[in-house]
Structure 1
């Protein structure tokens, strides 16, 4: 299973196994860990990861199928495949949502800044394996090659990859949860060519700092990037 999926598909501890299973699968899809047409992990593996029965997992998948988010396919290459496509953002509706959030938006932006700058620092401190270094480089390459329709999904995967490389499942889960709080708003930011070019330089600086063990550089590049994103959110949705 993808490292990023491990940040979301962690054991469920509450008595609401069905509801939390639905939530976790939707989070993985909305965060871009699994995109349209991707196959979810096998039932046996996913149930074990979540610490639930296969019957509970099947109930959750049936409900998501009824909602049009996944579909089962039979045969040698069968399994459960993602059919969810994010709706086109309605800026008017999102502005109303931001007003309803009140101070929660600034709280979410501050929380994200603290978590992700800390994650970049910790990733830079670690001695990463060649596999981990290649994984981060691959996530960056995929993002740099993304077309506008897939950019936000791959941007999410890039940021989650850094959190995964910290070696802290709790921190990785926190970054994923933080991203979910802002996901619809981030997806509503228009695809601005100048901003994408600027972000590409910032993403590259983040990766270069992490891979070279430059702790302060990793923090500085990440902070600059997140502050730029926050400025766009405030501009378009404030």
Structure 2
């Protein structure tokens, strides 16, 4: 699966207030000593982020969430905050606890009554910036694909071909988690063929900013067939060294993410 070649995850949101989804912090107070403002708590923010990520398909039904420690690191909050947010999702039936060696918190439902408001609170305040980040990602991935078509060698070609085969099998299985994993593997293989590590790192950073703070590709199950068709076209262009076509296909392909976010946001307004 070539996991060692993935760029190191960017696990923190950076300077407070930066990025499309800034790190959550303590409750504020009104100026002039007027007492505490009625603002969302850190637990509220984390619960909203998790509900949004699940609604976006970043965590599929039946999939185990990262551990409390991992979530705390990704979202730049303390473990008690994560624990309280997870308990909230468990109480509304979104998560369930599984005991044993493979135990943990598993996604039980992809959409709850509380999902619509959570999605709106998470996405709407940053929507214009998110659209700019999505555009930047399309431009960057187009550059990566063009460069891969120019610089790929036989080893890269074999790796990309294997990754496409794995994605095809995953798409046939209908397993959302497997589809996301194989999708990431394919795009890592293309990025590696570009032979420029900073490009891959920038792409990873953009993904985390776009995806409610998680370095995971949103997954809309209704777009799997389109993604498979575009993956085949992308691989063909890269392997044939057609830089212009590779860039064009990649730029169009990554509009899938914007469509997924837009569809979930629209659903949240109808809820």
Give the TM bin, normalised by the shorter chain: 0.5 to 0.7
Contact 1:89–1:187 (CA under 8 A) maintained in structure 2: no
Q: How far 1:156 sits from its partner (Å)? A: 2.4
Q: Which moved more, 1:89-98 or 1:119-128?
A: 89-98
TM-score (norm 2): 0.54
Look up the match of 2:167.
Answer: 143
* 1:222 pairs with 2:250: yes
Q: Distance in 1 between matches of 2:198 and 2:119?
A: 30
Contact 1:189–1:233 (CA under 8 A) maintained in structure 2: no
Q: Which has the larger radius of gyration?
A: 2
SS state at 1:8 partner: coil
* 1:97 pairs with 2:127: no
Q: Give runs of aligned pairs for residues 160-171 of structure 1, distance below 5 A.
A: 160-171=188-199
- The structure-2 alpha-carbon separation of the partners of 1:101 and 1:2, relative to structure 1 and needing over 3 Å to count, comes to same
- The structure-2 alpha-carbon separation of the partners of 1:161 and 1:120, relative to structure 1 and needing over 3 Å to count, comes to same
* 1:183 pairs with 2:208: no
Contact 2:160–2:190 (CA under 8 A) maintained in structure 1: yes
Q: How far 1:133 sits from its partner (Å)? A: 1.3
2:157 pairs with one of 126, 129, 133? 133
Q: Distance in 2 between matches of 1:196 and 1:100?
A: 29
Contact 2:142–2:250 (CA under 8 A) maintained in structure 1: yes
Q: Deviations over 1:71-102 (max 9, x none)?
A: xxxxxxxxxx9978678655422332111213
Look up the match of 1:8.
Answer: 8
Considering only aligned residues, what root-mean-square deviation do their CA atoms show, in Å?
4.0
Q: Distance in 2 between matches of 1:170 and 1:160?
A: 13
Contact 1:189–1:236 (CA under 8 A) maintained in structure 2: no
Q: How far 1:198 sits from its partner (Å)? A: 1.6
* 1:110 pairs with 2:135: yes
Q: How far 1:166 sits from its partner (Å)? A: 0.9
Contact 1:209–1:218 (CA under 8 A) maintained in structure 2: yes
Contact 1:160–1:176 (CA under 8 A) maintained in structure 2: no
Look up the match of 2:239.
Answer: 211
TM-score (norm 1): 0.61
Q: Deviations over 1:27-58 (max 9, x none)?
A: xxxx99xx97xxxxxxxxxxxxxxxxxxxxxx
Contact 1:98–1:237 (CA under 8 A) maintained in structure 2: yes
Q: Deviations over 1:138-177 (max 9, x none)?
A: 1111111113232123222322322222111111111111
Give the paired residue count.
181
Task: Decide which structure has greater helix share.
Answer: 1
Point out where structure 2 has 5 or more consecutive residues left out of the alignment. Answer: 15-57, 65-72, 84-101, 267-271
Q: Distance in 2 between matches of 1:97 and 1:87?
A: 21
